[in-house]
Structure 1
Amino acid sequence: MITKRLKSARISAGLTQEQLGVAAGIDESTARGRVSSYETGAYRPVFETLCLFAKVLDVPECYFYIIDDQFADDVLQLYRKRYEPLSP
């Protein structure tokens, strides 16, 4: 997992570490600490937890694993374009 992407996506979504953790189903008492440890790389979340983060943050799961930053940004733009609501 590319740890800086988790932090970047969380900040872009306007969420605190605790808010992200709780929204992903982590107990409120440990949410901030766990998300912080994932963002710093001290620990790695299991894939299922990362999938929950992706859902909350509205990013594709693969965004957290793509090594090349430009390619990750391209994938994110494609994802958002693909899933943007159709205008009436």
Structure 2
Amino acid sequence: MFQRRLKEARLRCQLSQKELGIQAGLDPFVASTRVNRYELGVHEPDIATIERLAAALGVPTAYLFADDDRLARLILAFERLPASEKDCLLKAIES
């Protein structure tokens, strides 16, 4: 699922693989190849790289691992809410 979410988020941000890699702090000479391999599932980045990729894409790290499309959408929507609204939503869901 990580591979698919990474590619979807990158395309939504209208970034090339190289641009994303560079924004995430990868060496510019290998950025495109590395992101391509992450998206294809050939290699899996370490957690620090995943966090930098998520930050560059403006998404929570959890979004990249959500195995359900509804959950992924919920994670993105929840992240955009102010803290007070997050608290109210959590109270409503938990009760």
TM-score (norm 1): 0.88
Q: Deviations over 1:10-44 (max 9, x none)?
A: 01111100000011111111000000000011110
Residue correspondences, number: 83
Please report the RMSD computed on the Cα atoms of aligned residues, expressed in angstroms.
1.4
For the pair 1:78 / 2:72, whether they are aligned, the reply is: no
Deviation sequence 1:47-85 (CA, Å, 0-9, x none):
1001001111100011111111111111111112348xx
Identical positions, percent: 37
Q: Show structure 1 runs of 5+ residues with no match.
A: 84-88
Aligned to 1:63: 63
Other-structure match for 2:88: none
Q: 1:1-88 to 2 correspondence within 5 Å? A: 2-82=2-82
Q: Please give the secondary structure, in 2, of the residue aligned with 1:29.
A: coil
Higher helix proportion: 2
TM-score, normalised with respect to structure 2: 0.81
Based on CA coordinates, which of the two structures has the bigger radius of gyration? 2
> Stretches of 4+ moved more than 3 A in 1?
none
Instruction: Determine the C-alpha separation between the residues in 2 that align with 1:42 and 1:82.
Output: 37
Q: Distance in 2 between matches of 1:52 and 1:65?
A: 14
Query: Which residue of the partner structure matches residue 86 of structure 1?
Result: none
- Give the letter for the 1:17 counterpart: Q
Distance 1:49 1:17 in 2: 14
